Amino acid sequence: MNPTLPAAASTTAAATLPPALDGLDPGWSRLVEAPDSEGTTRTWHVLDNAARLEQVGAVPVGTILCVHGNPTWSYLWRGLLAAATEQAQAGGAAWRVVAVDQLDMGFSERTGQPRRLPQRVRDLDRLTTALGIDGPVVTLGHDWGGVVSLGWAVDHPDRLVAATVLNTAVHQPETDPIPAPLRLTLQGPVLGPATVSTPGFLATTLALARPALSPEVRDGFRAPYLSADRRGGIGAFVADIPVDETHPSHAELDRVAEGLRGLTVPALALWGPRDPIFSDRYLDDLTDRLPHLDVHRFEGAGHMIAEEVDYAGAVLTWLDDLPSRTAAAAQDRAQDRAQARAEAGVEAGADRDARPSTAAAAGWTTAPLWQQLEEHRDSDGTVLVEMAPSTGVGPRSVSWRLLSRRVDEIAAGLLALGVQRGDRVSLLVPPGADLTAVLYACLRVGAVVVVADAGLGLRGLTRAVRGARPSYVVGALPGLSAARALGWPGLKISTTALPAATARALGVSHSLLDVAGLGAQRLEGTTLGALTGTPGPDDTAAVLFTSGSTGPAKGVVYTHGQLAAVRDALASRFGIGPGSGLVAGFAPFALLGPALGARSVTPDMDVTSPSTLTARATAAAVAAADATTLFLSPAAIANVVATADELTPEDHEALARVQTFLSAGAPVSGSLLAAAERLMPHASAHTPYGMTEGLLLTDVTADEIRAAEASGGRGVCVGRPVATATVRVVALDELGRATGDLTDAADVTGEIVVAAPHVKDRYDRLWLTEHSSRAVDGPAAPDGLRWHRTGDVGHLDADGRLWVEGRLAHVVVTAHGVVTPVAPEQAVESSRLVARAGVVGVGPVGTQQLVAVVETVDRARRPGLAPHEVAADVRALSPEPLAAVLVVPDLPTDVRHNSKIDRSRLSAWAEGVLSGGRMTTP
């Protein structure tokens, strides 16, 4: 396919300086003469902050070379020019920013000769030579400007120190069609009218921005393209998209794409997943070519990412650490070469059994997660109990022998399907034997399991699965149906055998039974250890998604060693091990049961809705597993207590056998804990503190909570750090920001910061979030660990106990100072009229007003101002003055635990209501 170029592409016009435009400093604009790729002298328009840096006496540390795509121009980079100049003025690193208008685009010369990709790459070379840009250079490109900038990067390794991109593509797979909008535009009758004779292509591109661009910014992007004779380059650029190997620019695109594989400098991609053109598949291709690529996906952003997020701040933040990142890249390259040599030895005929096949050879100093399966593979003892098996006939026990064999068979079957170490496998399977077997099979062969809670909803699950880019999806029917309908990636495997027509409709290629059958064949006469090596403790093991209660769900990456450390922390703290029975109403702990050597069971409940768990179902699960340890979320506990009247004498007898009762995920009121203790009279009640990023950080018993609260602390006491964890805080400033140094001083309220061997490795494809979570001033974490900023606020008391006071994002800054929400919420909830409360701020930071929003014991029928008696009681109990007291039938909560109050949503709702908006349900 070789589209005919629009006639207007042959129009010539001189370069000019742009008019006054919103956000554009006229001191940046320059016209530069330089030869083009054919040696003809041309005039380019560029934006360059060099003069502004000179005015403030700043010496550039390097140049950021910015290349726009189609149909934008250098105006796209005005935010970076401003931010880099301001940073230099403030005494930070001084980056010269040069943003080019490509020939026939923006305010550069109209050559009358349509330019192909090879010409554009050479044009950029000639221009940078004329500008005297000799390094160090950081390239930055967007859209098709990404290819041009990366072409320059590949050709100038001597000057290049880093390569950065916004949404772009360097390769179009022959098996995949180009995006539909481009296919339509490339049609002969459409190309000219859509791109040149009308401003349709430009208008459509600008309309992709969310939120919509202001009129002033839209005018800025339109300024160079006000007439058809100025838009010829737009049409020519579209026509130059190399859609197949016959296209004149196809060879150059291939050259650049393959050249990236040899690019060893640090690299960064900032990505808008909502882009209808440059979707995540192009990001996947980039990460394949640049394995060391740092990635940050801005959920909600799209093609006009530069207008939708603070990309400039992200780029400059990333460049702040460039020297250490360059050193790390060199070390990675050395390791890659060593690994390549080792793999070459295997390919050259080395005995496959010579690959690491034992935990010790793989570098383990503790037992891998699957060690108990190895040790108990000949045992007929029970490891799992299914309370609601697919047969529907009573509880079903699964032996260690059966689970070990099935794990080996599935693992070998996955190898037969082509699963390799590091491949991602998304698990859309409810808790039970199937999920446990496939999880441990994936871990055993070094595949990375991706686990996202069904409670995220279809939109949240879609973001999670697409963002995690799995190569394989194992799912039950509901998950596979959603995967098909919403276009989730990956080869599909069903947990049960499906009718042929259903399998075809859902795109399912195998069932789990098929996979196990393939594995059984491969295992004949050999062992799994002989078929595959053992993953090492530093290999990635899992991507676990957060609940989404504080923004879009984040993928939390754990290594094998870190997951093993989670197991060890649980075993050490709570004495869970071989012979123990564990009832887990929270899937991660149910899955850790075999790793602990314990019998585990998930109660008969909807795991996506913890409040569906009843007291009878809990007692039945305890009896089935002869459990001594029980883990439930606060929402689950509340319903267990609420349905306790249904318990039989046998149920009470079962619950009386529980010795350890755990609840985490959200604060648990003293009254609820006391009610749970009455149901389990011999149990020690614990409310450990943790999160997806670190599942067990501190622990406290109910007795310790009561003693601590009697001392008058503020917030929720979550106890002392577990043996391997260290807890500090970063003090809040007068605007509620965590800006101080790390401290363990008593009674200093700040952001909670933790370090432990079982804290996450990183966030997946969220470089900026990960950087922020590690940015801590003060002493290094002990034992070579890294600090993790939790986003929670609280304080340590004089006895070293941690008290949680809320989320950093929910801190309220009034005219009288900083207020954390938990203490006033607890005070309000002590009212005999109030069931639950959320205390939020409305108005601008610094003069915010506190508002209490409550669920009443006598449930309100509709939201509104609180009745006089309720309002008076709440105001009297609150330690802080309240501007208003509102009632709602139900407070909005998170999707996973149904317990955490969504204060951000509640604050926005209260502000809308109090400013005259409709009294709708939050």
pLDDT band at 652 (very low <50, low <70, confident <90, very high): very high
Identify whether residues 317 and 414 lie together within a single domain: no
Identify whether residues 443 and 479 lie together within a single domain: yes
Position 585 scores a pLDDT of: 79
- State the Cα–Cα distance between residues 530 and 385, nearest whole angstrom: 31
Q: Which of 284, 301, 322 is the last residue of a domain?
A: 322
> Which CATH number is 410's domain given?
3.40.50.12780
Q: Where are the beta strands (DSSP E) in 372-423?
A: 382-386, 396-399
pLDDT single digits (tens) 69-99: 999 999 999 999 999 999 999 999 999 999 9
Name the amino acid, one letter, at 376.
H
Position 8 scores a pLDDT of: 57
pLDDT band at 360 (very low <50, low <70, confident <90, very high): low
Identify whether residues 816 and 795 lie together within a single domain: no
What mean pLDDT do residues 620-643 have? 91
- State the Cα–Cα distance between residues 412 and 472, nearest whole angstrom: 15
pLDDT single digits (tens) 709-723: 887 778 999 999 999
Q: What is the DSSP code (8-state) at residue 391?
A: T
pLDDT single digits (tens) 379-390: 999 999 988 665
Position 246 scores a pLDDT of: 84
pLDDT single digits (tens) 719-775: 999 999 999 999 999 999 999 889 999 999 999 999 999 999 999 999 999 999 998
- Asked whether residue 573 is assigned to any structural domain, the reply reads no
Position with higher pLDDT, 172 vs 224 = 224
CB 434 within 8 A of CB 406: no
Domains identified in the chain, total number: 4
Q: Is the pLDDT of residue 152 over 80?
A: yes
> Which CATH number is 774's domain given?
2.30.38.10
- Asked whether residue 580 is assigned to any structural domain, the reply reads no
Position 863 scores a pLDDT of: 94
Identify whether residues 805 and 818 lie together within a single domain: no
Least confident of 177-186, 416-425, 560-569: 177-186
Position 392 scores a pLDDT of: 55
Identify whether residues 29 and 154 lie together within a single domain: yes
Position 242 scores a pLDDT of: 83
Give the dihedral sign, CA 126/130/135/140: negative
- State the Cα–Cα distance between residues 182 and 78, nearest whole angstrom: 27
Identify whether residues 818 and 703 lie together within a single domain: no
What mean pLDDT do residues 463-488 have? 88
pLDDT band at 393 (very low <50, low <70, confident <90, very high): low
pLDDT single digits (tens) 824-872: 999 999 999 999 999 999 999 999 999 999 999 999 999 999 999 999 9
Position with higher pLDDT, 789 vs 246 = 789
Position 127 scores a pLDDT of: 98
Identify whether residues 869 and 786 lie together within a single domain: no
- State the Cα–Cα distance between residues 289 and 271, nearest whole angstrom: 16
> Which CATH number is 90's domain given?
3.40.50.1820
CB 732 within 8 A of CB 738: yes
Q: Which of 749, 775, 809 is the last residue of a domain?
A: 809
Q: Is the pLDDT of residue 897 over 60?
A: no
What mean pLDDT do residues 485-502 have? 91
Cα–Cα–Cα angle for 566, 571, 573, nearest 5°? 95
Position 353 scores a pLDDT of: 32
Q: Which of 559, 585, 600 is the last residue of a domain?
A: 559
Identify whether residues 434 and 477 lie together within a single domain: yes
Position 349 scores a pLDDT of: 30
CB 903 within 8 A of CB 896: no
Coil, helix or strand at residue 275 = coil
* Arithmetic mean of pLDDT over the chain: 90
Least confident of 16-20, 102-106, 207-211, 323-327: 323-327
What percent of the chain has a predicted confidence (pLDDT) above 90? 73
Identify whether residues 97 and 221 lie together within a single domain: yes
- Asked whether residue 646 is assigned to any structural domain, the reply reads no
- Asked whether residue 668 is assigned to any structural domain, the reply reads no
Identify whether residues 823 and 795 lie together within a single domain: no
Name the amino acid, one letter, at 225.
Y
| Domain hosting residue 893, numbered range | 811-914
Position 352 scores a pLDDT of: 29
- Asked whether residue 467 is assigned to any structural domain, the reply reads yes
Q: Is the pLDDT of residue 105 over 50?
A: yes
Identify whether residues 803 and 824 lie together within a single domain: no
- Asked whether residue 714 is assigned to any structural domain, the reply reads yes
- Asked whether residue 617 is assigned to any structural domain, the reply reads no
- Asked whether residue 545 is assigned to any structural domain, the reply reads yes
Strand partners, 663: 632
Identify whether residues 775 and 871 lie together within a single domain: no
Position 114 scores a pLDDT of: 85
Q: Is the pLDDT of residue 310 over 50?
A: yes
What mean pLDDT do residues 497-501 have? 95
Position 195 scores a pLDDT of: 86
pLDDT single digits (tens) 328-357: 655 555 555 455 445 444 333 333 233 334
